[in-house]
Structure 1
Amino acid sequence: MGQLILSDIGLTFPQQSHAVLENIQLEIAEGSLTVILGESGCGKTTLLNILAGFQQPSTGQVILNGKVVTQPDAERAVVFQEHALLPWLNVAENVGFALKLKGLKPQQITEQVEHILQTVGLAHVAHANIWQLSGGMKQRVGIARALVSHAPYILLDEPFAALDAFTRENMQQLVLDLWKDQQKSFFLITHDIEEALLLSQKLVLMTARPGRIQETLTLNFAERYRQGEDIRFIKSDPDFIALREQLFNRLKQQNQALEQVI
């Protein structure tokens, strides 16, 4: 079983006196669900960029299966907040673009793309133009593009933030279904408390300025879904609601404390 480790990660940008991240210690097992929850400005996206290899930390290391990460590679695929699709390509062409760059034969590309589009529920729009898709469909294309890379780690940068509540819940269910069926590791950052509770086995609560890990919670809501419970039933469970309110109050207190400092 692989493991992605953040060891004593810190980051201070040039010409800035205050650290963005400080002393981040985190282990992400392959096949797990990890969510970073925090207010805007706590360094969540920066931390994801370091995990992806887009940004090098000022201190510490990212270690994947015993090797130090220094750049992006095929082990980690990213789903961005903005879908970042190529508008001149249709759905299938967007999903298969990376496979084409790898030099796969057209038949191999077609077979893999068809399978992934079926998995994420987009087989019926395989030849549609990107501008014809809804926001939820575009994010499904982004997830399909990550999955077709066969990366064991999928990193998601608040990918559902711009979606309406109904579509957002459908996308949350898609992530849970993919985790359940494909045994990939999902690392997601969000400021949505309900989403964080539902999509994590390990929920990491961050404070801001500099971003530090305040607390790590081990949760079983995702596992309950894997065992067959309905999402709406889980979200209406008294334990889920109570924890949601506790986290809301904790984040509210953090925000108030920051406002006093500023």
Structure 2
Amino acid sequence: MAELVCSRLSPELSYISVGFSPRARRKRTLRLCDQGRDAGVKKPTPVLELIDCWLKEPGTRWGYYLFEEINLRVERNEVVVVVGENGTGKTTLMDLLAGYNTPSKGKLLLNGKRSNSNNLGKAVGSVFQFPGNYFLGSTILDELIVGRDYATPDLVREVMKQVGLYDVSLLQNPRQLSGGQKRRLSLASQLMRQPMPEVLIMDEPLAGIDRRGHRGIVELIENLKNQMAVVIVTHDPGILLTCADRMVQLSHKKIWPIPESVVHRGREVRHQRGEI
């Protein structure tokens, strides 16, 4: 009997893949995404890539896998949105891409070469859903410069301006900022790094932010991709549809490409509702 995999992305967005086996489903997925058009065309080396990766749940004796044979390419200067219901493993995927976890099987490549947690830690930056939990400094200035001997007043001002916090006092306690400001400060801390990360991973960047703040975060993401690749994990793409170059779905322990036609329809519906 054919297996049906159907996962809701939002009221108007759903993705269905049908097949009799994992291999059949994968072929069906590739056909839906019309990837055959690019057959024989050599693609540039992605900055980050998962190839047939499996991830075993820590501490399980019999080898229960959280992910099975997942594949994901992250190209330079693009925004990839990973959509998935709560509990599907979005944060676990984020940890895997950032080097906090190591694949049980498969390859994790950075610029086409096998990588380890040390290399990934230098090349990948993370902005968590609740960044205030990770702040270490007693002031915004401390948060930006501690441990960074190369930091200068000009660099601090440039980064604060870039993330839209130029008018915020550097002596303010970072834990007293609003949710949106905390995410911006966490992002500023990543931009202060030298060398700057090649990939930035953002976990639910719109959570806890009012609709007025959504547009500012999206504009910030659009500017960021001029400097690095951006991967966003979220359960509801919302206005992120407008800045996504590509979208994939995390479901049933695998990553499924979402056809551009589905993304386009999602943008249309959101626009009609006045949400974007």
- Aligned with residue 86 of structure 1, among 135, 148, 164: 135
Match of 2:156 in 1: 113
Asked if the contact 1:11–1:21 (Cα under 8 Å) also holds between the matched residues in 2, the reply is yes
Specify which of 81, 104, 108 is matched with residue 62 of structure 1.
Answer: 108
When residues 31 and 160 of structure 1 are mapped into structure 2, their CA distance, relative to the original with a 3 A threshold, is same
Q: Conserved in 2, the CA contact under 8 Å of 1:194 and 1:244?
A: no
Q: Equivalent residue for 1:7?
A: 51
The residue aligned with 2:124 is: 76
Residue aligning to 1:198: 242
Residue from 23, 36, 39 that aligns with 2:69: 23
Q: Could you tell me whether the CA contact under 8 Å between 2:46 and 2:111 is conserved in 1?
A: yes
TM-score for the superposition, normalised by structure 2: 0.71
- TM-score normalised per structure 1: 0.75
Q: CA RMSD in A?
A: 2.7
CA contact (8 A) 1:190 1:196 kept: no
Aligned residue pairs: how many? 220
Deviates more, 1:15-24 or 1:152-161: 15-24
The whole-number CA distance in structure 1 between the counterparts of 2:162 and 2:113 is: 32
Q: Secondary structure at the match of 1:213?
A: strand
CA distance in 1, matches of 2:221, 2:161: 14
Matched ranges for 1:1-262 at <5 A: 3-13=47-57, 14-15=59-60, 18-71=64-117, 72-83=120-131, 84-86=133-135, 88-98=137-147, 100=148, 103-104=149-150, 108-125=151-168, 126-149=170-193, 150-179=196-225, 182-208=226-252, 211-218=253-260, 240-242=267-269
Mapped contact 1:156–1:189 kept (Cα < 8 A): yes
Q: Which amino acid aligns with 2:176?
A: Q
Q: 1: distance between equivalents of 2:266 and 2:128?
A: 31
Q: Which runs of 5+ in 2 are unaligned?
A: 1-44
Given residue 77 of structure 1, which amino acid in structure 2 is its aligned partner? G
The residue identity in structure 1 corresponding to 2:122 is A
Deviation at 1:124, TM superposition (A): 1.5
CA distance in 2, matches of 1:11, 1:244: 38
Kindly, what percent of the aligned residue pairs are identical?
Answer: 26
- Structure (1 or 2) with the greater helix fraction: 1
CA deviations 1:71-91 (Å, max 9, x no partner) are 042211111111134364211
Q: Deviations over 1:212-244 (max 9, x none)?
A: 12333348x9xxxxxxxxxxxxxxx97613489
Paired with 1:69 and 1:18, the residues of 2 have a C-alpha distance of 24
Separation of aligned partners in 1, 2:56 and 2:175: 39
Runs of 4+ in 1 over 6 A off after TM superposition: none
CA distance in 2, matches of 1:218, 1:18: 33
SS in 1 for 2:256: strand
Q: SS of 1:74's equivalent?
A: helix
Q: Which residue of the partner structure matches residue 258 of structure 1?
A: none
- Following superposition, the deviation at residue 109 of structure 1 comes to 3.1
**Partner Cα distance (1:218, 1:26) in 2:** 16
Amino acid at match of 1:133: L
Task: Pick closer, same or farther for the CA change 1:124–1:118 going to 2, 3 Å.
Answer: same
Q: 1:239 to 1:42 in 2, by over 3 A?
A: closer
- Mapped partners of 1:244, 1:17: distance in 2: 45
